[in-house]
Structure 1
Amino acid sequence: MSESATHLEDGPIVVGIKPGLPSRIIETAERTAGSMGCEVIFAYVELNSALVELDPTEPRLNESLDPEIDDEMAGVSAALSDMLTAALAGTRVQWSFRVLAGDPASALSRLAADVGSRMLVVGTRRHGPIHRVEAFFAGSVAKSLAMGQSRPVLLVPLNRDAD
């Protein structure tokens, strides 16, 4: 059986999160994991950090997937962890939270590969002129993941009506 054929059979779900994230993504990931009977790994990618190794053929180093956390990153990480704890209170789904380094799409892809993830869950871009400018300069994580993955990517629409 090929590696891509096993993605839906085992492994956790990896979910990309960031500050200001609508609860819709957390709820979607929790329901999906509950229906599949698997764990969820929520991952925040610190944009002001970089992957230690730049060559994709080099082995992955712990510093890339578990970066050193400075005071600012620790505050953001704690706030996200508290948000997840509150949002997932009472759930039976096992979950964990990770902080990653580097480009969001690359870091999430690497984590998914390292943990044998069955799928990735990310939000789409929000609507509006500010978000269009941001997407122009930074690109779309959702698009990068959807175009460059062998595993399924669940895109959760973020629109004006979502919380």
Structure 2
Amino acid sequence: MSESATHLDDGPIVVGIEPGLPSRIIETAERTAGSMGCEVIFAYVELNSALVELEYTEPRTRDSLDPAIDEEMSAVASTIKGMLGSALAESRVQWSFRVLAGDPASALSRLAADVHSRMLVVGTRRHGGLHRVEEFFTGSLAKALAMGQDRPVLLVPLNRETPPAE
């Protein structure tokens, strides 16, 4: 990367994804990456996992920040990867899929920094009482990313009319 280049000039787009998210996020990421001529990295953050690195006295390595994947996580990841494969089967955009662990905002930010991402793409909160309760306890991922990034964050509105990706 040249001295005048920034993370806006090259690098992939990082997209936060989870089971049941509307296809609008995948479509938006694909169109954006296509117009920018870049790769898309879809990332699922497993909330019920822990990072491999637990001892603060040892140096952090790339491997220590990857989750220890169990059978249940493997099934969810396989489902998401299959959904992405179906949705992007006709796409010319190069894409990949990663499973991350820990706090979603921190994990996505860490991945974006590691791959020198040009932007992050996430959905806004979903409608409904259950999602408001979840946001009350966990906070808004979109807000946390938008407030704590040095790179752009594209927020894709999620609403009731948008069907989930299959």
**Cα distance 1:37–1:54, how it changes in 2: closer, same or farther (>3 A)?**
farther
Moved over 6 A (4+): none
Q: Deviations over 1:1-41 (max 9, x none)?
A: xx9x7122000000000010110000000000000000000
Secondary structure class of the residue paired with 1:42:
strand
The alignment covers a number of residue pairs equal to: 160
Q: Structure 1: how far apart are the matches of 2:55 and 2:28?
A: 33
Q: Structure 2: how far apart are the matches of 1:134 and 1:123?
A: 15
CA-CA distance at 1:61 after TM superposition:
3.6
Gaps of 5+ in 2: none
Cross-structure match for 2:112:
112
CA-CA distance at 1:53 after TM superposition:
5.5
**Cα distance 1:102–1:54, how it changes in 2: closer, same or farther (>3 A)?**
farther
- Please say if 1:62 is aligned against 2:63: yes
Q: Deviations over 1:55-110 (max 9, x none)?
A: 7xx6444132x322110000000000000000000110000000001000000000
Indicate if the aligned counterparts of 2:49 and 2:68 stay in contact, CA closer than 8 A.
no
Write 1 or 2 for the structure with the bigger share of helix: 1
**Cα distance 1:93–1:132, how it changes in 2: closer, same or farther (>3 A)?**
same
What RMSD in Å do the two structures reach over aligned CA positions?
2.1
- Please say if 1:10 is aligned against 2:10: yes
Gaps of 5+ in 1: none
Indicate if the aligned counterparts of 2:19 and 2:76 stay in contact, CA closer than 8 A.
yes
Where do residues 7-156 of structure 1 align in structure 2 (5 Å cutoff)? Answer: 7-51=7-51, 52=53, 59-64=60-65, 66-156=66-156
Q: Deviations over 1:113-132 (max 9, x none)?
A: 00000000000100111110
The normalised TM-score by structure 2 is 0.90
The normalised TM-score by structure 1 is 0.91
Structure 2 counterpart of 1:11, which letter?
A: G
Indicate if the aligned counterparts of 2:50 and 2:68 stay in contact, CA closer than 8 A.
no
